[in-house]
Structure formats: C-alpha cells, structure tokens
C-alpha cells in the first residue's frame, strides 16, 4: 500500500464521518496537490519519521506556511504520524 492509497482510505473511513465540509475540502486539496505529488507513491512500509520530517519542513518553508492553518495542520499530522512510523 502506498501513502496515497492510505490517505484515500483514511479520508473515506474517517474524514467523511468526522470532518466538516470545509476541513474535508481543504484536506483533500492539500492531499491531492501537495502530499500525493511529493510522497504519494512511497510504500507505507518505507516511510520513516526522518522522511516525513523532511517533507513537512519543506512545506513550512514553502509558500504553504503562509496559508492559514497549514502549519498547524502539518504539525498536528507530524505528531500523529511520528507515533505510527519508526526509523
């Protein structure tokens, strides 16, 4: 399973039930336009905390960091995902 496939499944199983329309829409946009192009084809078994840290740091240093809520969301995601993956 790839990161992109995992995110699709997560949105279907969790996001559609627990997120409001606005958050769902912005999350789907972020996944489709930023996460999937960068790491969507990476196999979940190959994901490391270091790799996620590099990706999220690049998001913060790009124009994304100026978008309202993106930095907060990526920091929250980093904490959640870091607990799921090991080096």
pLDDT at 41: 95
What CA–CA distance (Å, rounded) separates 41 from 4? 6
The token pair that represents 75 in the structure block: 């920091």
The token pair that represents 49 in the structure block: 């905390």
Residues ≥6 apart with Cβ < 8 Å to 28: 11, 15
- φ/ψ bin of 41: left (φ > 0), alpha (ψ from -120 to 50), beta (otherwise): alpha
Coil, helix or strand at residue 25: helix
pLDDT tens by residue, the chain, 87 residues? 999 999 999 999 999 999 999 999 989 998 998 899 989 999 999 999 898 888 888 877 765 554 555 556 656 666 666 555 554
Q: pTM for this structure?
A: 0.69
């Amino acid at each position: 399973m790839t990161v992109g496939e995992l995110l699709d499944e997560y949105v279907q199983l969790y996001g559609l039930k627990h997120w409001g329309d606005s958050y769902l829409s912005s999350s789907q946009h972020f996944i489709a336009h930023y996460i999937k192009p960068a790491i969507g084809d990476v196999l979940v078994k190959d994901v490391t905390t270091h790799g996620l840290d590099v990706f999220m740091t690049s998001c913060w240093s790009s124009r994304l960091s100026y978008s309202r809520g993106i930095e907060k969301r990526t920091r929250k995601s980093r904490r959640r995902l870091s607990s799921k993956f090991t080096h």
